[in-house]
Amino acid sequence: MSEDAKRATLLPIPESEEIREWDPGFEGDRWIVVSRFGPFLKVYRKPAKYRKRFYHRTFNLPVRDWLIATEAKFLAGLCTMTSRLEVRFQPTLRYAQDNLEALPDLAGHIISNYESMLKDVMERELVQAEAGNWVKQGLESVERSIENAVNETLAVQSIQCRARCQLEPVFEDLAEQPVESMSGHFERQAAYLELMRRNHEFESRRSQELFRHAEQNERAALEHQRNLLDQFRRDEAVRQAKDKEESERIYAQLKEEEKRQAARRASEERRHIERIEHEKQLRKLELEAKRMEREMRLQATEHSDDILRREIEVLVLERQRNSLEEEVDEVVRQWQRKKIRETPDDQEDADFVSIPSPDSVAKD
């Protein structure tokens, strides 16, 4: 049976009286003590001030969860009833005393021993519900009856529990055919007719709901579009304001930058003029220094020429003096030779004394 061929029919939820909540009395920290000493055996709840002995064994009795799922055919196969039973249970001290051989896994012992019993309880309640008018009244009362039956069944066995049952009917596709032609296939024509009526009502409500939902979606879409348009306009106004503010800021920055550029250009021009004036002054000073250097060099040259002339004159005078002295010496030598030739030998000594010196001759 494919899922496309199935259709779930909306069942009514009747207004029921207030249901008393089942209180199983779970304990989060339930321990038992098994005291075995020789032939003596005792099982009791673990006391608050417990002192362990070597012949003691302690066991925890925790709260466990248990899931049972079944399926059943209703209305000669027209409906598949899926049941989901969630059981939260905890074994009691009495159950532990009666089933010591199952320790420490009492939970597994409970599941293995009572699962078939709970399924039988569920099937019995579903069979009774099938005979009733559950199509018209809904499945809530059936779910409560299953929960109560499961709670009572386990409570009798000294097992604390809380059961939650959920039933979900899945119907085959209902074709528009005369009821008489399907009498051989359905044992309960009244239930089938009620099911058809509920199906038509459901289809009508679903169509209305779909139309209302589509209308709401369309209004929501239009409202969303209006909101988007309003948001776009607000965003555009904010963007334009920001653009204007940014433009004004950029314009102010440009004006400030233009002022700074003008001041920088004026400062550079002023520094350029000052640099030119300074270079002119340096050039003038350099030319003046060169002129003074040339004058000093010229003066030094003229002074050197004077010294050279004086040295030359001194040299010339010295040479003239030397030449004169040589001439005087030559004259004296000639004169002496002449005197020697002219005078006799006895007068040489007397005449020799009267020979003039070269200085005297030069002075003469």
pTM above 0.85, yes or no: no
User: Domains of the chain: which residue ranges?
Assistant: 3-173
pLDDT in the model for residue 360: 54
Residue among 94, 205, 198 nearest 136 (CA) = 198
According to the model, what pLDDT value does residue 136 have? 66
Q: Cα(170)–Cα(166) distance, rounded to whole angstroms?
A: 13
d(CA 171, CA 93): 45
Q: Which residues 6+ apart lie within 8 Å of 165 measured at CB?
A: 83, 84, 85, 86, 122, 143, 144, 146, 147, 150
- pLDDT for 67: 92
How far apart (Å, rounded) are the C-alpha atoms in residues 285 and 287? 5
Please check whether residue 14 is in contact with residue 138, taking contact to mean a CB–CB distance below 8 angstroms.
Answer: yes
Taking the C-alpha atoms of residue 167 and residue 138, their distance in angstroms, rounded to an integer, is: 10
Q: What is the pLDDT along the chain (364 residues), one digit of tens a residue?
A: 444 434 334 444 444 444 566 777 788 888 888 887 878 888 888 888 878 888 888 888 888 898 988 887 776 667 778 889 999 898 888 888 888 888 888 888 888 888 889 988 888 888 777 665 666 677 788 888 888 999 998 888 888 899 999 888 877 665 544 444 444 444 456 666 666 666 677 678 778 888 888 888 999 999 999 999 999 999 999 999 999 999 999 999 899 999 999 998 998 888 989 889 888 888 888 888 888 888 888 887 777 777 888 888 888 888 888 888 888 888 888 888 887 777 655 554 544 445 555 555 445 5
Spatial CB neighbours of 166, under 8 Å, sequence gap ≥ 6: 83, 84, 85, 86, 143
Check residue 7 and give its pLDDT. Answer: 39
